[in-house]
Amino acid sequence: RKEVEQDPGPFNVPEGATVAFNCTYSNSASQSFFWYRQDCRKEPKLLMSVYSSGNEDGRFTAQLNRASQYISLLIRDSKLSDSATYLCVVNIGGGSNYKLTFGKGTLLTVNP
Amino acid sequence: ETGVTQTPRHLVMGMTNKKSLKCEQHLGHNAMYWYKQSAKKPLELMFVYNFKEQTENNSVPSRFSPECPNSSHLFLHLHTLQPEDSALYLCASSQALAGVVLGEQYFGPGTRLTVT
C-alpha cells in the first residue's frame, strides 16, 4: 500500500458543482494531515489542515477518519479559480522524522 | 509572496557542469527542506535541515550535495547530473520540534532544472 494514495482524477466539473476528493494513508502513527493546493507551474500552498473533529473553511470541508486511515476534502459551489491540483499530505511525526509525505495529487478543472 | 525565495528560477546545464541552487527564507523558521518534483510523481523529499544540522537524507545520490550555512539559507550543489534529474526543485521552510513539522511548510517558487 502506498504511503499516501489519492483519487487519480482528473476531475472536470461545472461551476457551482460539489466535488469530493479522497485520500488514504498507510501509517497508523501519522499525526498531522493537510490539504495543499498547487496551481500549474507554481509551488504548493497550504489549503487547510485536517483536524480529528473535521473542519470547515468557507466552501471547503475536510474530514479525517483515523480508524479507516482516510482523509477527504469537499468543495462546494466550485469556482473557476478552484482549478488546481490538490495534494493530500501526511506527517508521520515522532522521533527524528520531519517528513511530510505527499500524495500524487488530484487535478481539478472547473469549467464555465 | 511566500517569504521563501529561490534562485535561479530556471537552469539548463550539461551533464559535466557544476551549478548551485540557492534558497533563502525570511520567516524565522528553524527547518528547511529540498524537494524534487518530477512529472507524474509525488513530491519527493530530498534533504531536511533543522537548526543547520542535516536530519534527513532520503537516499539521494551524491551528485546532489546540500549545504546549510545558517538557518535562513540553503543551497543545493549539483555536479555530473543525469538527464533524469531534470525536474522542479522546491525549497521549503517550517517550524519543527522533536521531529514534527509545526503548522505548514512554506514553499519557494522552485527552480526548473533541465539537464542536457
- The 8-class DSSP code of residue A81 comes to G
Summarised one tens digit per residue, pLDDT across range A35-76 is 999 999 899 999 999 988 889 999 999 999 999 999 999 999
pLDDT at A21: 95
**Spacing of C-alpha A87 from chain mean position:** 5
Span B24-38, average pLDDT: 94
Instruction: Say which of A42, A44, A98 has its CB closest to residue B56.
Output: A98
The 3-state DSSP class for residue B55 equals: strand
CB of B72 within 8 A of CB of B13?
Answer: no
Q: In this complex, do A102 and B110 lie within 8 Å of one another by their Cβ atoms?
A: no
Size of interface A-B (CB pairs under 8 A): 62
pLDDT above 70 covers a percentage of chain A that reads 94
> Are A86 and A72 a contacting pair, CB within 8 Å?
no
Residue the block writes with cell 546540500? B66
Say whether residue B55 is in contact with chain A using an 8 A CB cutoff. Answer: yes
Contact A93 B2 (CB under 8 A): no
Own/partner pairs for B47-54, CB < 8 Å, 24+ apart? B47/B76, B48/A98, B48/A99, B49/B74, B50/A98, B50/B96
User: Hey, which bits of chain B come out as E strands?
Assistant: 4-7, 10-13, 18-25, 31-37, 44-50, 53-57, 64-70, 73-79, 87-97, 100-107, 111-115
What number of residues does chain B have? 116
